[in-house]
Chains A and B, each alone.
Chain A
Amino acid sequence: MLEPSILAASLIHGLANGAVYALVALGLSLVYGVLHIINFAHGALLMAALYAVYFLVERVGLDPYAAIPILVPAAGVVGYLLHRYVVAKASRGREEAVLLVTLGVALVLENLALALFRSDTRTIETGWAFEMVAVGPALLPAAKLAAAAGALVAVLALWAVVRATDLGRAIRAVAKEREAARLVGIDVDHVFALAFAIGTATLGAAACLLLPTYYVSPQVGHGFVLIAFTIVVLGGMGSFWGAFWGGLLIGVVESLGGLFLGESLGQIGIFAIFIATLLLRPTGLFGRAV
């Protein structure tokens, strides 16, 4: 029953989904690469950004894509403050403490959303939800293609920032040699918070690109946290291009796993690759760190 056309269509869909996953994972990769912390609040921050897009679309009447220039800096500021005044203050840089703090932040954000917005699933009506584009044998929603393109732009932008700006140089210095960076006069705490801010800012963009094809509810982040971690590891922690390729790979693995094993058992493919990569090539399959 598996005709080649289904297989090809499934592959293409997997790539498109994978690009969206990569977009969600980018920020996590930066945070992981620079700060060496496991940020459990990533999913909750994505959720908060999705709500922000939702309200900008529904209450202000903005187009979700027009919200990108608003949401990216706003999310960045939130990320900076969150790291500087909550995560860093409470954890003092210790790994297990960061874990607990980000877990606490996630709990607070999720349940604040529950208290403020109730648990209803919310979606936006865009008018072009059913604009389909034929890509080879696959029919892709235009919004999903836009999200995939956005992921590519985001990777390029982040890569440019980290490679070609003073901030990027500072981030790389801090990621490699924390103490040495401090000695040459880099404000390490500030750079850490900036890295966290950039990581959160990418979630702002991700939310704008994701919402037209998805939904938001207080729990929505859960569906993306594990997959984002997987992508970060596959790509090599801290590598943007790695995250991008890792995302595509995961998208394809998920798609083919679903096709051959069913959508429930098929999820096992993602974790099988994850475990194999961790065991055999823990530095990741692609790219190198920032």
Chain B
Amino acid sequence: MNRPAIFSRSSLSRRHLLAGTAFGAAALAAPAILRAQPAPVKIGLLHPVTGFLAFSGQQCREGALLAIEAINAAGGIKSLGGAKLEPVLGDAQSKPEVGAAEVEKMNEAGVAAIVGAYASAISLATTQSAARYGIPHIVDVGVSDQIVQRGLTNTFRFCPGYGVIAKIAIDNLVALNDAAGKPARTVAIVHEESLFGTGTAQLLQKELPARGFEVVEVAKHANPTRDFTNVVLKLKALAPDIVIPANYYNEYVLLARTMRQQGVRPKAIYSVLGGAASSFKFVKEFPDDAAYIMDCNHWYDPRKAEALELRRKAEAKGLYYTYEVFLAHEAVRLLADALERAGSASRERIVEALATSSWDGHFMPYGPTRFVNGQNEGARPVNTQVLNGTIEVIFPAEFASARPVFPMPRA
């Protein structure tokens, strides 16, 4: 009876000893860790997550949060001793004045920078408010070029504006048409009535005639438009070779479906910033409507593993991998890179670091960042086409994953 007792006692004491050492070590180490753990860097994520832009706003927020999660998991900002990023969430409620009010709150919450605000109208208000406090503001999506033309030194846009997008869209359209032996000559533009659709359509309308295309129809429509039959009937009568939609998701889907219902089949549906044309949701839910649709839009470089990894992560969270997700994600990483190089969470230092940024760690096809007046000069859109139930890149040639199918086959 003794032996087991002694044995057990000794084993107990042994365990105690071990536990004691571990505890002791932890106790000794704890203050050191506490001391080494630097204050987190607060990042304002400001998006319209309620109201009529809620879908896009939520997608942006999720993308940005995924980036923060990944950066923190990888050890935070190294030059700040592994400081973690701490998101400060804001809801612009799809209204510019609420967005501006959120900036005030973020300023007082002590954010080092703001990433937002999806819509151009809201971004104009938030960048202006943030400028008052010198808060660096990365615009994640807003495509209006006015955002970066107001002389605000705190404002940076990573993605292209509609000026560049319209230009490249036309260049690629010409290349596409030339390569196929110029089968297309007439174009109809169908665009939504707000800033991005109207602005894009105006640029296209001005530029296309100079490049040998005749614009036979420009149809502007409201959001929401309940029925597209009229537009489609006109398209049927005019029979343009190419239809260019520039609108939001819901209207895009209705338009594409109505075209199919009415048997309108142009040589190409070539969207510029098409709300659904390069959306996995559209391709999955309406594969027949989506087939062969081309889009000139924000798109990642499919050669980059991180881009595909993010798609997997987003889909694991039940999200569609839309442009909002990866643009907001990369906007946060751009900021993290600036923090890394600034070695400081001070707003001026971050602005400086962004202005002189030459970051090439991203997965967008932009090359190293180079900001001129806040606009990333290398930013450009990509042309995609829905082929065999998935979205393939058809331009630029250096990372195209498929050859364009143009004109699209008669069903």
Contact = CB atoms under 8 A, between A and B. Distances in A.
Q: Are chains A and B touching in the complex at the 8 Å CB cutoff?
A: yes
A132 interface: yes
Given A1-B238, A13-B227, A119-B55, A125 B285 contact: yes
A6 B250 contact: no
Given A114-B54, A120-B55, A6 B249 contact: no
Contacts of B228: 263
Nearest to B217: A1
Contacts of A81: none
A222 B226 CA distance: 11
Given A263-B221, A264-B220, A255 B230 contact: yes
A9 B236 CA distance: 12
Given A9-B233, A17-B227, A217-B250, A262 B52 contact: no
B285 to A, nearest CB: 6
Given A123-B285, A215-B253, A219-B54, A6 B261 contact: no
Interface in B239-276: 249-250, 253-254, 257, 260-263
A168 to B, nearest CB: 32
B245 to A, nearest CB: 13
A4 to B, nearest CB: 11
B222 A6 contact: no
A216 to B, nearest CB: 10
Contacts of B260: 130
Contacts of A111: 50
A13 B224 contact: no
Contacts of B253: 121, 123, 215
B54 A119 contact: yes
A125 B285 CA distance: 8
B224 A222 contact: yes
Interface in B25-66: 50-52, 54-55, 57-58
B234 interface: yes
Contact of A262 (B55, B219, B233, B320): B219
B310 interface: no
B50 A114 contact: yes
A61 interface: no
Interface in A203-246: 214-215, 217-220, 222-224
A132 B261 contact: yes
A215 B233 contact: no
A117 to B, nearest CB: 11
Nearest to B233: A6
Contacts of A264: 193, 220-222
A13 B234 CA distance: 13
Which 7 pairs, one residue from A and one from B, show the smallest C-beta to C-beta distance?
A263-B221, A119-B54, A119-B55, A258-B230, A223-B224, A264-B220, A13-B229
Interface of B: 50-52, 54-55, 57-58, 193, 219-222, 224-231, 233-234, 236-238, 249-250, 253-254, 257, 260-263, 281, 285-286, 320
13 contacts: A17-B227, A17-B229, A111-B50, A119-B54, A119-B58, A123-B253, A139-B262, A141-B261, A222-B224, A258-B231, A263-B221, A263-B231, A265-B220
